[in-house]
Amino acid sequence: MIILGIETSCDETAAAICKNGEIISSIISQQIIHSNYGGVVPELASREHELLLNHVINKTIEQAQITLSDIDAISVTQGPGLNGTLLTGICFAKGLGYGLGIPVVPVNHLEGHIFANFIAEPSLQYPFVCLLVSGGHTQLWFVEGIEKYMLLGETRDDAAGEAFDKGARILGLGYPGGPAIEKEAKGGNPLKIKFPRSFLGKDNLEFSFSGLKTSLLYFMDGIEEPSRQFKIDIIASYQQAIIDVLVEKVRRALDYTKATTCVIAGGVAANQCLRNKLKTILKGKKIIFPEPKFCTDNGAMISYLGELKLKSNKYSELSFSAKPNLKLL
């Protein structure tokens, strides 16, 4: 079975081909234009998808060394995401699917991130704890099977990825903020500044990052122009505050569920400091991370999950529409 996956939930135009559970091609085109604005501009994102989609899909098919007629079905992100960008991908997928006479499978973007870990570790077994951490979401899930999820905790305000992006803006760094902060934090002392770590009370599995962001803003407003080294220390300390909370909540979730395996999903999962801290704190547990290219938004996770849903007949007809606020449960 050959599935074309299309992902346009935000500012990555991505496509991939999954053949019998194996990703044989994957193309991701990140829209650089948004770096001029310090964040994603929805209308620009939709227009960029329109410009890029045809090219990205053609390159994906070429890389897989197949033709359009070889494709058995198309899977496409239905939500959550930006309404305009989702519609761009869905309309393209429906038109192509209708023209080829093949099914079009809507996929939940969050579910796709979770199942990207099966691409990294095909032998992954249920149940497991998943930390889903990105620009729009910070959630802990207990996963017992496909569409068998229990929400353990989530952020009450900003997502961790959003805290990285907003922190980077305060610090005068680039967009996206996560990679910019991680790069600048190298060589810094992560214990130099004691930024707050919220919601670390006993048995709490929820998150909050708005107070941390505000703390950074007030701290920067209250100092003169810092030396180069002091600024690196500030950046490293801010990153460490985010990572400490994420790692502690994963540890508690594993204790609570008695699970022995955890997977990390979403764009923030690419952060090497987070990976290292999890490995240090969770010794004796099995920890799975997708490849960095499959942490950010990508078509591979959409095509892989689309194949699973097609095989289990868990998909709708072409009447489905974009759902910007789509939940996992």
The pLDDT of 130-149, averaged and rounded, is 95
Predicted pLDDT of residue 45: 83
Predicted pLDDT of residue 272: 96
Predicted pLDDT of residue 274: 97
The pLDDT of 59-86, averaged and rounded, is 97
Predicted pLDDT of residue 77: 98
Name the amino acid, one letter, at 14: A
Fold of 126-292: Nucleotidyltransferase; domain 5 (3.30.420)
Q: How confident is the model at residue 19 (pLDDT cuts 50, 70, 90)?
A: very high
* pLDDT(69) > 90: yes
Q: Tell me which architecture the domain covering 2-113+294-311 has in CATH.
A: 2-Layer Sandwich (3.30)
* Fold agreement (2-113+294-311, 126-292): yes
The pLDDT of 30-57, averaged and rounded, is 79
Least confident of 116-125, 271-280, 313-322: 313-322
The pLDDT of 269-293, averaged and rounded, is 95
Predicted pLDDT of residue 278: 97
Token reading at 73: 């079905």
Least confident of 38-42, 149-153, 211-215: 38-42
Q: How far apart are CA 72 and CA 5, in angstroms?
A: 11
- Tell which wins on pLDDT, 34 or 196: 196
Percent of the chain with pLDDT over 90: 85
Predicted pLDDT of residue 38: 66
Q: Which residues of 73-110 are buried (b: 16+ CB within 10 A; e: fewer)?
A: bbbbbbbbbbbbbbbbbbebbbebbeebebbbbbbbbb
CB 167 within 8 A of CB 177: yes
Where exactly are the structural domains of the chain? 2-113+294-311, 126-292
Q: How confident is the model at residue 221 (pLDDT cuts 50, 70, 90)?
A: very high
Predicted pLDDT of residue 31: 62
The pLDDT of 1-18, averaged and rounded, is 95
* pLDDT(176) > 90: no
Predicted pLDDT of residue 312: 85
Q: What is the DSSP string of 269-324?
A: GG-HHHHHHHHHHTTTSEEE---GGGTSS-HHHHHHHHHHHHHTT----TT----T
Least confident of 79-93, 149-163, 214-228, 309-323: 309-323
Q: How confident is the model at residue 42 (pLDDT cuts 50, 70, 90)?
A: confident
* pLDDT(213) > 60: yes
Q: How confident is the model at residue 36 (pLDDT cuts 50, 70, 90)?
A: low
The pLDDT of 269-281, averaged and rounded, is 96
- Model-level pTM? 0.92
Percent of the chain with pLDDT over 70: 97
Predicted pLDDT of residue 304: 97
Predicted pLDDT of residue 34: 57
Q: How far apart are CA 292 and CA 270, in angstroms?
A: 5
Predicted pLDDT of residue 202: 74
Name the amino acid, one letter, at 266: G
The pLDDT of 86-99, averaged and rounded, is 96
Name the amino acid, one letter, at 134: S
